[in-house]
Chains A and B, each alone.
Chain A
Amino acid sequence: GQQLNQSPQSMFIQEGEDVSMNCTSSSIFNTWLWYKQDPGEGPVLLIALYKAGELTSNGRLTAQFGITRKDSFLNISASIPSDVGIYFCAGRNNAGNMLTFGGGTRLMVKP
């Protein structure tokens, strides 16, 4: 099946620092989605990307849909303690409505 490689697996940063994480795939996706999951909660949609090359921002978050359609990155600028959580990328292709998830990036922010 399709695989999404998400990196890094975890990050421990100082408050105020910028963060970057990415996902790569061996297959093409038509949609890339980025979610954040807090402990004991369901994932919350952060950014949705629908076109190759698309760059979209949501507050301090910026994500891009790679030109090759096989990768995407998420940047968080000026991190704050409430950014702590697990971030997942997810891709969707033409085969159906199913999402393929990356393994997640666990972000920890030191005040």
Chain B
Amino acid sequence: GAVVSQHPSWVICKSGTSVKIECRSLDFQATTMFWYRQFPKQSLMLMATSNEGSKATYEQGVEKDKFLINHASLTLSTLTVTSAHPEDSSFYICSADGQGGETQYFGPGTRLLVL
């Protein structure tokens, strides 16, 4: 149980294009999902908290117009990186709350490379 999937697992795009990443909780419903970014050899940095049916809450320094989050259902949240640039290249990981919100289960991550 408590499986979280992400799609795609990796993506390469040209600078200026937009990329959408999906995060799904496969066997449980998640009112809250989270989006993280991880640079090489660093820890996970929370970007935003995504709540089903409401606007996402962004961490300080994260541009909400650049990283669009939609949490349309209890099993799906999407992150769209708009007008991607090379500095947006990173490993993006989502997670979903499980067990009454006391634990978080992570997806396998999406590696984004912007050329």
Please indicate the chain A residues that have their CB under 8 angstroms from the CB of B32 in the complex: 97
Flag if B102 contacts A99 (CB, 8 Å): no
How far apart sit A48 and B34, CA to CA, in the bound complex (Å)? 18
The B interface is mostly helix, strand or loop, or mixed, namely strand
The A interface is mostly helix, strand or loop, or mixed, namely loop
How far does the Cβ of B110 sit from chain A's closest Cβ, in whole Å?
9
Binds A, one of B12-20, B42-50, B65-73, B80-88: B42-50
How far apart sit A104 and B43, CA to CA, in the bound complex (Å)? 6
Binds B, one of A13-21, A33-41, A57-65, A75-83: A33-41
* Residue B105 CB within 8 A of the other chain: yes
Q: Say whether, besides A33-B104, A50-B102, A97-B97, A43 and B49 are in contact (CB < 8 Å).
A: no
* Residue B54 CB within 8 A of the other chain: no
Flag if B44 contacts A98 (CB, 8 Å): no
Flag if B102 contacts A31 (CB, 8 Å): yes
Residues of B whose CB lies within 8 Å of any CB of A are 4, 6, 32, 34, 42-44, 46, 49, 91, 93, 95, 97, 99, 101-109, 111
Residues of A whose CB lies within 8 Å of any CB of B are 31, 33, 35, 40-45, 48, 50, 88, 90, 92, 96-99, 101-104
